[in-house]
Amino acid sequence: MVQSGFQNLILRQEDAGGGSTITQQLAKLLYKRPDTKGKSRLIKFITLINSKLKEWVTAVKLEKSYTKEEIMTMYLNKFEFINGAHGIEAAAQIYFNKNQDALSVEEAAVLIGMLKNPSLYNPKGFLKNVSKGEM
């Protein structure tokens, strides 16, 4: 259920243009960017370019090696939902005390919304935003 809702979100995102694709976001999650605090602007710029290049190469390799569904699954399993929820299964357990396969449509929608902004749509404190339909 979560994957089918997420797939609809992805298809709309790719058709809409702009922003990064799920594959690019996954590539970014796979690399921790180095800390550049206290570094010169030039070092920060070079570090950013290097990171972006690694992410781009990784995204290309992912696209060539995996299906969209496999990439989506990897992204959902790698995403940090906050409150210690690393991946979709952990998020289902932490926020709803159930396995991801047992989520209702509404619960799955909350987790999908968290992909856009985990803090804003956090059901452990910001459920009022979700109920207002601000997703």
Confirm if 75 and 67 have CB atoms less than 8 A apart: no
pLDDT digits (tens, 9 = 90+) for 43-63: 999 999 999 999 999 999 999
What pLDDT does 132 receive?
56
**Which of these, 68, 57, 2, 65, lies nearest to 28 by C-alpha position?**
57
Number of domains in the chain: 1
What pLDDT does 67 receive?
96
Confidence bin at 6 (pLDDT 50/70/90): low
Confidence bin at 42 (pLDDT 50/70/90): very high
Specify the residue for token string 């009022």: 128
For residues 26-55, average pLDDT: 92
CATH code at position 13: 1.10.3810.10
3 has a pLDDT exceeding 70: no
Residue 134 φ then ψ, to 5°: -85, 10
d(CA 115, CA 122): 10
Domain that holds residue 46: 2-131
